[in-house]
């Protein structure tokens, strides 16, 4: 139940690294050779309304703050493709507050994870039976829209056609066109829009944002019809963006992180050889970047995760390395979500991840594609951008993420490199390290695992440090200490 990659449940060995990580033939993030597919979750014919929203308002589930509205339901892309959403008004001045989209990763993981385990108006209790109000919810000053995508993920259902981040971006754009055309939500069209995402969102976030900008430009030229999206912010947490720069981070983090070694020196030595050998991981990712070939990129994912990512994890929880595998925190949300499904208008049985969606992406090799050029495009376009990471996360560790950030080529590159890390203080307590350069920021949070807002540090509340980051960025401010 973390927000990285989905588990292929039928192939998971007896020891499980949490319910969302793909463990295929014993390999974390592996690639299956199986050809069997999971049946799409289809509704009966005629049950959807293509191009329209269907939703329930004010179900009373999760957000119980008086006077704060919510809506949950579906945007029907076609007669056989329905995307699930859950919208929460800002607790403060919703008509003028920005709109923040949230996407968990996978590919194939539900964004309900972020809602109930991380940053939403409520948080799951440790017994997984109920929720409590979250005082540090990101809807304190922003409207929040959680989206289960691609089709088939979480409560979404229908034909499973998406196997790349670019195809996912096109569907999200289509969903938002439907969303803003609805009379209930049309008033938010002109509000500032933000994309926030984590994990595989290192691909999703830059790809979605760059697609939005390209579509806006096409609307201006008259080659595309639609509503322009007022994109102002991109936030990417613990993200997989640029594998070539990030994969050496697994080797570094396994032997030198703030907590303890994950494996022996001999395992690290083997990983180093598998990285640098003539047909090793580095060469295979480079070949993927050069060719874009589905088979080349898929093979690189298989090789690198079998030889580097998976063995270097040791027996520590890959999402929170201070604990041995598996760590039961954050608690499961599955039984709770399915217990309230009818109240919120859901039409499918909720699962954290979809096996076939993951398989679709693995077959195209999307995992090993480089999304850094899209991230650079977004930064160059003036969209305020933040990359953040938790220092207790192995699966997308700060060594790799910071190497990706250091490789960015934008108008702020020289300024960023000239900066020293400063202490990110929250109510006077050092909660991380950060840099600002123009409208770009990076922050590494102390004591946080893969789902940064699910953790606390010192005497701060759960998610308090992440909430300060979110609030400052959404106000178009650089990060600063309090």
Show which residues are catalytic. 199, 393, 450
Q: Give me the residue label for tokens 């180093």.
A: 272
CA separation for the pair 466, 435 (Å, rounded): 15
Cα-based torsion angle of the residue sequence 419, 322, 203, 439 in order, rounded to the nearest 10 degrees: -20
Burial of 73 (0-12, 13-18, 19+ CB in 10 A): buried
- Strand 231-237 to 53-57 pairing: unpaired
CA separation for the pair 58, 70 (Å, rounded): 5
How crowded is the C-beta side of 467, counted as CA atoms within 13 Å?
23
Task: Return the bridge partners of 157, or none.
Answer: 82
**Residue 411 backbone dihedrals phi, psi, to 5 degrees:** -65, -10
C-beta atoms surrounding 36 within 10 Å: 9
Cα of 253 vs its chain's centroid, Å: 21
CA separation for the pair 335, 354 (Å, rounded): 17
Hey, what are 394's tokens? 């192995």
Cα-based torsion angle of the residue sequence 194, 198, 204, 210 in order, rounded to the nearest 10 degrees: 40
Cα of 263 vs its chain's centroid, Å: 27
Q: What do you get for the CA distance between the two ends of the chain, in Å?
A: 32
Hey, what are 150's tokens? 């691609």
CA separation for the pair 316, 344 (Å, rounded): 37
Angle subtended at Cα 21 by Cα 337 and Cα 25, rounded to the nearest 5 degrees: 130
Cα-based torsion angle of the residue sequence 162, 118, 447, 208 in order, rounded to the nearest 10 degrees: 30
Q: Do 4 and 397 meet the contact criterion of CB atoms below 8 Å apart?
A: no
């Amino acid at each position: 139940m973390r927000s990285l990659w989905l588990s292929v449940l039928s192939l998971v060995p007896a020891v499980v690294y949490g319910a969302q990580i793909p463990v295929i033939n014993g390999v974390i993030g592996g690639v299956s050779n199986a050809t069997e597919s999971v049946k799409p979750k289809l509704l009966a014919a005629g049950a959807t309304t293509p191009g329209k929203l269907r939703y329930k308002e004010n179900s009373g589930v999760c957000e119980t703050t008086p006077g704060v509205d919510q809506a949950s339901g579906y945007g029907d892309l076609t007669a056989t493709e329905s995307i699930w959403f859950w919208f929460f008004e800002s607790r403060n001045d919703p008509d003028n507050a920005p709109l923040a989209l949230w996407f968990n990763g996978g590919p194939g993981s539900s964004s309900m994870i972020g809602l109930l385990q991380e940053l939403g108006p409520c948080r799951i209790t440790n017994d997984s039976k109920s929720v409590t109000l979250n005082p540090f919810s990101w809807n304190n000053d922003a409207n929040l829209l959680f989206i289960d995508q691609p089709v088939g993920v979480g409560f979404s259902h229908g034909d499973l056609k998406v196997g790349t981040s670019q195809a996912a971006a096109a569907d999200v754009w289509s969903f938002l066109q439907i969303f803003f055309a609805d009379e209930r939500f049309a008033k938010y069209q002109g509000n500032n829009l933000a994309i926030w995402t984590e994990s595989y969102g290192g691909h999703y976030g830059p790809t979605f944002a760059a697609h939005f900008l390209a579509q806006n430009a096409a609307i201006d030229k008259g080659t595309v019809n639609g509503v322009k999206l007022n994109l102002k912010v991109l936030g990417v947490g613990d993200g997989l963006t640029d594998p070539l720069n990030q994969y050496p981070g697994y080797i570094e983090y396994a032997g030198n992180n703030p907590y303890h070694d994950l494996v022996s020196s001999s395992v690290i030595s083997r990983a180093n050889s598998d990285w640098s050998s003539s047909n090793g991981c580095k060469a295979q990712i480079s070949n993927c970047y050069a060719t874009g070939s589905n088979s080349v990129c898929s093979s690189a994912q298989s090789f690198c995760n079998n030889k580097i990512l998976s063995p270097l994890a040791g027996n520590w929880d890959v999402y929170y390395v201070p604990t041995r595998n598996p760590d039961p925190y954050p608690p499961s949300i599955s039984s709770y979500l399915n217990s309230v499904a009818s109240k919120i208008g859901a039409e499918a049985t909720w699962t954290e991840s979809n096996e076939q969606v993951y398989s679709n992406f693995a077959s195209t090799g999307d995992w090993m594609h480089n999304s850094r050029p899209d991230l650079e495009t977004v930064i160059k376009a003036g969209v305020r951008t933040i990359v953040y990471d938790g220092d207790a996360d192995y699966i997308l560790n700060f060594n790799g993420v910071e190497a990706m950030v250091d490789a960015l080529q934008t108008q702020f590159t020289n300024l960023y490199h000239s900066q020293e890390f400063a202490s990110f203080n929250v109510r006077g307590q050092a909660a991380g390290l950060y840099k600002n350069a123009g409208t770009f920021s990076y922050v590494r949070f102390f004591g946080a695992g893969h789902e940064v807002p699910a953790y606390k540090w010192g005497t701060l509340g759960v998610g308090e440090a992440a909430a300060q980051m979110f609030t400052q960025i959404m106000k178009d401010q650089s990060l600063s200490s309090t």
